[in-house]
Amino acid sequence: MIGRRDRTARPERRAVPKRVDHDLRRRQIGEALLRIASTRGLQAASMREVAAEAGVSLRLVQYYFHTKTELLLGALAYLGEQLSARVEAHIRALGLPPTPRSLVYGTLTAILPTDAESRRLTRTYAAYYALVLAEPALAADHGTTYPDALERFLAGHLRTAQAAGQVDPGLDAPTAAAGLLALTNGLGSSVLGGQRDGDAALAILTYHLDRLFGHQPGSGEAADSARSAAGDLTH
Amino acid sequence: MIGRRDRTARPERRAVPKRVDHDLRRRQIGEALLRIASTRGLQAASMREVAAEAGVSLRLVQYYFHTKTELLLGALAYLGEQLSARVEAHIRALGLPPTPRSLVYGTLTAILPTDAESRRLTRTYAAYYALVLAEPALAADHGTTYPDALERFLAGHLRTAQAAGQVDPGLDAPTAAAGLLALTNGLGSSVLGGQRDGDAALAILTYHLDRLFGHQPGSGEAADSARSAAGDLTH
DNA sequence: CTCTTGATGATACGGTCGTACCATCAAAAT
DNA sequence: ATTTTGATGGTACGACCGTATCATCAAGAG
């Protein structure tokens, strides 16, 4: 209503106005924060530290993120993108055609801290989790929608596996899916806490998946192929 | 060697010297920190805030805990005491004689945030967990010995249940115990994160325990009794 | 009764935090 | 050519942090 900027629609007219790419700069700064959060925690991620990590001045961090809350939320959005991108890539790397078991397995192993990248992602996620616990106003809803979607995704493929006779049809799929996700998250916490290493956690997760999917005759072979697939993920 | 204080053993000679009970004051201050950590996070637990919460002056906090690290570690020790005390009381409240299932069930439900006290404990534990992730020097070893002991405790009773025919003898007890603990921790995280409430998490945990323990004939009755026991815990 | 000493109060110091303000410079608009 | 404006640098401000220092008061020792 006010201004009517769209009267003369120039081709150069963009949301990012003139000189530099704002989205790019924001991403550069936001990922600098994520890098600090993954190694030294969010407490160490002051605006000055983020500026130094990103190689820009403090003023620039303020320029692209007017306040610290905005910076934290922006970086959290980037973290969510990285996490879901990893899950997708991880599933795709398990080969075609995707079986229900490989989809469940790929999803859960993607969020288990077994390599450097997943450790970085889960560590950063844990840092944000603690921050949200202390300051619930930051959460908005990013904290519940994504795990809920993951659970529905897992439950759907568990049901498919039940229909294919690969999983006990007496199983309650949503409850089992929630349990698998909680199991994986709990295992991840134990890895980050130093209680065991990523391989041990992966072995425990694989064991439980074998018990779930090894319900039809010939389950031994299925367990073996799953275990070799687990080996492929580590290198 | 130097001083030889034990030469004249006076009856009043104590580690807490003259006037006030140092252990009591330390506990009072340490639990004030835990109270702040459970509600506003450890970031909000500055020495001044702890002093105000404990109703003492800043100087006193410094007097009984020479440095902030000492305060954090001391309060962490109190938290560990509270946690293990709750686990023991929770198991004892499940009635005698303790069955393997009630021991496993009581242990896991004790650390699941279903009521106000367990929520407080797990929230505080989560705050410390994030702090240790960012500052591993604080951990010493408190982070790994306690979960390891819990896992061994659970695995032992799973083996007993196997010997009694209540659990599938083909189950690998240590792996299943680690899985149960990770499942419970993961469920707890989802409760604290607001994804579901304590009752929903308890239902998921009970479902998995029923699948584990419901292996002998007459499993339906066992599942029913377990579910009623779960109901008893909530009030 | 004096003196030592444990326990406590008040306050100061250097540092870091998030934020705000002012100046500059170059590209775009006119 | 001049003006405007997006983008950036430098720096200051007030608040809070952990820690240190100085002072005081009361109880037990001699």
pLDDT digits (tens, 9 = 90+) for B79-136: 999 999 999 999 999 888 889 999 999 999 999 999 999 999 999 999 999 999 999 9
Band (B22; pLDDT cuts 50, 70, 90): confident
CA of A206 to nearest chain B CA: how many angstroms apart? 10
Q: Does A182 touch chain B (CB under 8 A)?
A: yes
- C-alpha to C-alpha distance for B122 and B113, rounded to whole angstroms: 6
Angle, helices B68-92 vs B47-54, to 10°: value is: 50
Q: Which pair of structure tokens corresponds to residue A45?
A: 């991620």
Provide the number of CB pairs (under 8 Å) joining chain A to chain B: 134
Q: Does B187 touch chain A (CB under 8 A)?
A: yes
Q: Is the dihedral of CA A209, A212, A218, A220 positive or negative?
A: positive
The gap between A19 CA and D4 C1' (Å) is 15
Band (A139; pLDDT cuts 50, 70, 90): confident
Angle, helices B173-192 vs B198-213, to 10°: value is: 170
Band (A235; pLDDT cuts 50, 70, 90): very low
Confidence (pLDDT) at A18? 58
Tell me how crowded residue B196 is: count the other CB atoms within 10 A of its CB.
20
Say if CB B188 and CB B209 are below 8 A apart.
no
Measured at the CA of B206, the angle between CA B203 and CA B210, to 5 degrees, comes to 135
The amino acid occupying position A132 is V
- C-alpha to C-alpha distance for B58 and B71, rounded to whole angstroms: 13
- Pick out residues 165-224 of chain B having their CB under 7 A from any atom of nucleic acid strand C: none
Say if CB B208 and CB B186 are below 8 A apart.
no
Q: Which pair of structure tokens corresponds to residue A226?
A: 């799953």
| CB contact (8 A) between residue A203 and residue B42 | no
Residue found by looking up tokens 């899950």 in the block: A87
Residue found by looking up tokens 């702040």 in the block: B36
Confidence (pLDDT) at B18? 56
- C-alpha to C-alpha distance for A60 and A68, rounded to whole angstroms: 13
Nearest C-alpha in B relative to A171: B211
In B, which residues are within 8 Å of A129 by CB distance? 126, 130, 189, 193
Buried b / exposed e over A116-153, threshold 16 CB at 10 Å, is eebbbbbbbbbbbbbbbbbeeebbeeebeeebbebbeb
Tell me what the pLDDT averaged over chain A comes to. Answer: 86
What is the assigned CATH class of domain A13-66?
Answer: mainly alpha
Confidence (pLDDT) at A81? 96
Instruction: Verify if strand D has an atom below 7 Å from the CB of B46.
Output: yes
Say if CB A155 and CB A177 are below 8 A apart.
yes
Average pLDDT over residues A159-181: 96
Say if CB A232 and CB A102 are below 8 A apart.
no
Residue found by looking up tokens 């997760």 in the block: A205
Largest CA distance in chain A: 71
Nucleotides of C under 7 A from a protein CB: 6-11, 16-22, 27-29
| CB contact (8 A) between residue B129 and residue A208 | no
Residues with Cβ within 8 Å of residue B27, at least 6 apart in sequence: B78
- C-alpha to C-alpha distance for A205 and A183, rounded to whole angstroms: 8
One DSSP character per residue, B35-57 reads HHHHHH-GGG--HHHHHHHHTS-
| CB contact (8 A) between residue B195 and residue A144 | yes
Band (A94; pLDDT cuts 50, 70, 90): confident
Which nt is closest to the CA of A69, judged by C1'?
A: C18
Confidence (pLDDT) at B95? 81
Domain ranges for chain A, please list them: 13-66, 77-233
Measured at the CA of B150, the angle between CA B149 and CA B151, to 5 degrees, comes to 90
Instruction: Verify if strand C has an atom below 7 Å from the CB of B52.
Output: no
CATH number for the B80-233 domain, one of 1.20.1250.20, 3.30.1490.390, 1.10.357.10, 3.40.50.300? 1.10.357.10
Q: Is the confidence at residue A9, as pLDDT, over 70?
A: no
With distances taken from each CA to the C1' atom of nucleotide D8, the closest residue turns out to be A60
The region of weakest confidence among A196-200, A206-210, B228-232 is B228-232
pLDDT tens sequence across A181-204: 999 999 999 999 999 999 999 999
Query: Shortest CA distance to B87 belongs to which of B145, B179, B153, B24?
Result: B153
Query: Shortest CA distance to A44 belongs to which of A168, B224, A52, A140?
Result: A52
pLDDT tens sequence across B170-208: 999 999 999 999 999 999 999 999 999 999 999 999 999
Q: Which pair of structure tokens corresponds to residue A217?
A: 């005759």
CATH level 3 topology of A77-233 = Tetracycline Repressor; domain 2 (1.10.357)
Average pLDDT over residues A106-125: 97
Average pLDDT over residues B45-52: 98
The domain defined by B15-66 carries CATH number 1.10.3470: no
- C-alpha to C-alpha distance for B207 and A203, rounded to whole angstroms: 23
Strand ranges, E, within A62-118? none
Buried b / exposed e over B50-77, threshold 16 CB at 10 Å, is bbebbebeeeebeebbeeeeebbbbbbe
Tell me how crowded residue B4 is: count the other CB atoms within 10 A of its CB.
7
